[in-house]
Amino acid sequence: MANRILLIEDEEKIARFVELELRHEGNEVEKAFDGREGLDKALSKDYDLILLDVMLPQLNGLEVLRRIRLEKDVPVILLTARDAVMDKVSGLDAGADDYITKPFAIEELLARIRVALKRRGKGAVETHQLTAHGVVLDEDRYEVTVNGEPVELTNREFELLRMLMRNKNIVLDREKLMNEVCGYDYIGETNIIDVYVRYLRTKIDDRYGIKLIQTIRGVGYVIKDN
Ligand code: CA
């Protein structure tokens, strides 16, 4: 559960104080005392979060941030001087997640760290994969695999499969499926859906010996749980 935090701060007193507090909270902390050292560490290791002072020797914090962002998506909180409005604006523009103004109360810093970690963590675990009977449909990549093997589908076959997998265990009638797959302005027979189901069965059911899409006579189709 320990988070690995990189602290890039040239003022040793502040660095030591923040480090102690972060460790006290159960985090692992590494320090860097100038922009170049900080950038090297940020790029060569994986941290859960980076605390980055703006006024740094060698390379200023905003430049460090810009270069980190070229390669990494790690959460970054800027430590800015009081009233340095320009720093805050350009910092957020350059991809900082948040900033905190010195001098700060440690509780506020810890709270902002928690928020930044939570926000990123949530995004990271969110996947858009639908699964049934060894079939995995990845909505982000527009890919379908069966037992790990990629299956080539046309757009309409993909949309039909997606619709059925999103509504697992719910029988969908042909008209609803047609509206979703072909669009509401599609003019044609609803048996077009039967045609696409047949294509899907040829590409998936027949080839892999599974019974993915079930016909509910007189109604429509459904994918049931395993
Ligand atoms: Ca400084």
Domains in the chain: boundaries: 4-119, 129-222
Which pLDDT belongs to residue 123? 43
- Residues measured by CB to lie within 5 Å of ligand 1, the ion: 10, 53, 55
The three-class DSSP label of residue 137 is: strand
Percent share of the chain, pLDDT over 90: 61
Residues of the chain with confidence (pLDDT) below 50 = 122-125
The predicted pLDDT at position 182 comes to 81
Cα(9) to ligand 1 centroid in Å equals: 6
Distance 142 CA to ligand 1 centre (A): 46
Question: Global pTM?
Answer: 0.55
- Interval between CA 90 and ligand 1 midpoint (Å): 17
d(C-alpha 57, C-alpha 69), whole Å: 20
Dist. CA 158 → ligand 1 center (Å): 54
pLDDT in tens, 34-51: 999 999 999 999 999 999
CATH number of 129-222, picked from 1.10.1060.10, 3.40.50.970, 1.10.10.10, 3.30.70.1350:
1.10.10.10
Task: Classify domain 4-119 by CATH number.
Answer: 3.40.50.2300
Q: For the CA atoms of 105, 98, 113, 34, what is the dihedral angle to 10 degrees?
A: -80
Do domains 4-119 and 129-222 share one topology? The answer is no
**pLDDT of res. 139:** 83
Q: How high is the pLDDT of residue 81?
A: 81
- What was the pLDDT predicted at 210? 93
